[in-house]
Structure 1
Amino acid sequence: MKTLPIYQVDAFTSQIFGGNPAAVMPLEEWLPDETLRALAMENNLSETAFLVPLPDEPEADFHIRWFTPTVEVPLCGHATLASAWVVFNKLGWKHQQVRFQSKSGPLGVEQTDDGWLELDFPNLAFEQRPTPGLIHEALKGAPDSAFFVPNDTNYLVVLENEAAVKAAQPEIRKLKELGNQGVIITARGEDSDFVSRYFAPGAGIDEDPVTGSIHSVLVPYWAEKLGKNALLAKQASARGGVLRCELKGDRVAIAGQAAFYMEGSVQLP
């Protein structure tokens, strides 16, 4: 019998029951992928992050991987933020920053002076394309053009205003036919610079409460539109979340708070 630690942290919120819950499981070494997928399915959260220390790697402190209940994903913001919270608060980490090695390259998380955690994420390129027919069918009022994010398999759809983002009720069954592609909807915000929501039913996530990784494309998009690099973002899901963002050349800083929910152990045969 093998005992594994597990933590659950609500990311991009200062209070439990808000933001986006993530499971974090520090490991001593990698388990088989089928075991990681089974653990993520059992946890049944939008993402479970797995960490393995890299004591002999000069450029990174931990290797991080993220799994939804059905697939491994190349990038995940909220579970990275939750993982950093666990490293800083539960694993005895004494440094101001932790560095992760990932499928999307190096990712850093730094503790700010006011207690937020700031993610150092890539600036993801996007390209304008005709809106796919499935998105038109699933999302009433979708414009004729959207933006495709090749490195994160997402479509970005810009709606008229914040009210349209909040009122959107996409047909999840149709979006699921996109396969492993998510749909971001966004608009200028009323009391923030922009708002967004994110749907990825093909990856096992009907709607994600708060998605840090999509801000790797939202921030460069809105920075250009609004003519400024420092942006306040809100994700307009039922749980909701707040993100302080900044475009920094080929990187994007995404800061949020975290609320600790629980810890325990998993027994593997």
Structure 2
Amino acid sequence: MKTLQLFQINAFASSLFKGNPAAVCVLDSWLNEQTMQDIAMENNLAETAFVVKREEDYHIRWFTPEVEVDLCGHATLAAAWVLFHRYGHEAEIIHLHSDRSGPLSVKKEDSGELTLDFPVDTLEEVGPVSAISEALGKEPLKVFRGKTDYLLIYENEQEIIEIVPNFFLLDRVDARGVIVTAPGKEVDFVSRFFAPKCGVPEDPVTGSAHTSLTPYWAKVLGKADLKARQLSKRGGSLRCRLRGERVWISGSAVPYLKGEITL
């Protein structure tokens, strides 16, 4: 019998029951892939992050209840919080590596926020995707395709709030997920993120989506430092900064629980 420590952290949140909950397991060595997928399925959260210490950095992988994904912002933020506050990481920056997304890092700010340093997504404008428009019930102004997601641009915040997706239809779209976004009333831009194909109908706050959102809105608004809000039921706030080919995404994290997994 083997026990593993598990932490559940609310990322991009300033209080409990807000932001995006992620599970974090810091391992001595990798479990087999099926076991990690089974743990993520059992946790039934948008993402479970698994972390293994290497000589100079940490190796990180992310699993939804159904699949392993290339990049996850909120679970990386959660993992960094655990390494800083429960495993005694002393330096102000945690360096991580993903086989799917390359070098990543998280910096502890004096404000208490954590800042992700992620690679920028490359967007290509495409024509309307009828399956997505039908699933969302609203025709966007523009559609872009990134590495893993579609990005749909709408006119205003109210349109984003009013979207009621048909997840059965959206599940047929060949992409990790669909980001919808518009200018915000009190922030620079707002968004929502739908990923039923990954077992996450609507993600509460999606750090990785902001690697697509940030370069788009930085160009449209003519500024590199942006404030963002994800308009899910739980909601979450992010500060996004475009720095060349990297995006800095900052937010707070709040611990919810510590437990043990018995294998």
Deviations 1:64-109, CA, capped at 9 Å, x for gaps? 0000000000000000000000000001111111011012011100
Shift of 1:179: 4.5
Root-mean-square deviation (CA), in Å?
A: 0.9
Aligned length: 262
Shift of 1:136: 1.5
Unaligned runs of 5+ in 2: none
Aligned to 1:48: 48
Selected match of 1:236 from 231, 234, 256 = 231
Return the alpha-carbon distance in structure 1 between the equivalents of residues 200 and 175 of structure 2.
10
Q: Please tell me whether the aligned partners of residues 179 and 203 of structure 1 are also in contact (alpha carbons under 8 angstroms).
A: no
Letter in 2 for 1:107: L
Q: Please tell me whether the aligned partners of residues 141 and 155 of structure 2 are also in contact (alpha carbons under 8 angstroms).
A: no
Q: Please tell me whether the aligned partners of residues 77 and 106 of structure 2 are also in contact (alpha carbons under 8 angstroms).
A: yes
Aligned to 2:162: 167
Deviations 1:15-60, CA, capped at 9 Å, x for gaps? 01000000000111011100010000000000000000002xx4xx
Q: Please tell me whether the aligned partners of residues 130 and 144 of structure 1 are also in contact (alpha carbons under 8 angstroms).
A: no
Moved more, 16-25 or 131-140: 131-140
Aligned to 1:24: 24
Deviations 1:85-139, CA, capped at 9 Å, x for gaps? 0000001111111011012011100011111000001111010111222102101
List 4+ stretches of structure 1 deviating above 3 A.
none
Aligned to 2:96: 100
Q: Please tell me whether the aligned partners of residues 141 and 152 of structure 2 are also in contact (alpha carbons under 8 angstroms).
A: no
Shift of 1:181: 2.5
Aligned to 2:34: 34
Aligned to 1:136: 133
Aligned to 1:124: 121
Unaligned runs of 5+ in 1: none
Deviations 1:133-177, CA, capped at 9 Å, x for gaps? 210210122236410002xx1000001100000111111110001
Output aligned runs, 1:145-164, within 5 Å: 145-150=142-147, 153-164=148-159
Selected match of 2:74 from 71, 78, 81 = 78
Aligned: 1:69 with 2:32: no
Return the alpha-carbon distance in structure 1 between the equivalents of residues 185 and 140 of structure 2.
21
Aligned to 1:210: 205
Query: Kindly, what percent of the aligned residue pairs are identical?
Result: 51
Return the alpha-carbon distance in structure 2 between the equivalents of residues 164 and 145 of structure 1.
14
Q: Please tell me whether the aligned partners of residues 22 and 47 of structure 1 are also in contact (alpha carbons under 8 angstroms).
A: yes
